[in-house]
């Protein structure tokens, strides 16, 4: 999946340090770790609301 969008978020230094440490423990880049965690959170919230999940819909369409 080609990445073409950028998401900017403001963090305090302690948050970023904790996120980086968690990413290191997971063996992931900070960007990949954040993206995976946001995808999980979005999936839960959207499924709970009965909404379609855009990033899953796109994947399903390409496998047909």
pLDDT digits (tens, 9 = 90+) for 43-57: 999 999 999 999 887
Helices 13-26, 30-48: inter-axial angle, 10-degree rounding: 100
- Contact, 17 vs 23, CB < 8 A? no
pTM: 0.79
Distance separating alpha carbons of residues 53 and 43, to the nearest angstrom: 7
Question: Cα angle at 31 between 61 and 45, to 5 degrees?
Answer: 55
Q: In 27-63, where does DSSP find H-type helix? A: 30-48, 54-63
pLDDT score recorded for residue 56: 87
Residue 8, pLDDT above cutoff 70: yes
pLDDT score recorded for residue 41: 97
């Amino acid at each position: 999946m080609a990445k073409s969008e950028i998401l900017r978020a403001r963090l305090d230094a302690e948050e970023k340090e904790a996120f980086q440490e968690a990413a290191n423990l997971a063996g992931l880049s900070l960007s990949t770790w954040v993206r995976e965690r946001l995808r999980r959170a979005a999936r839960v919230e959207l499924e709970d609301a009965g909404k379609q999940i855009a990033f899953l819909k796109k994947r399903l369409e390409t496998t047909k």
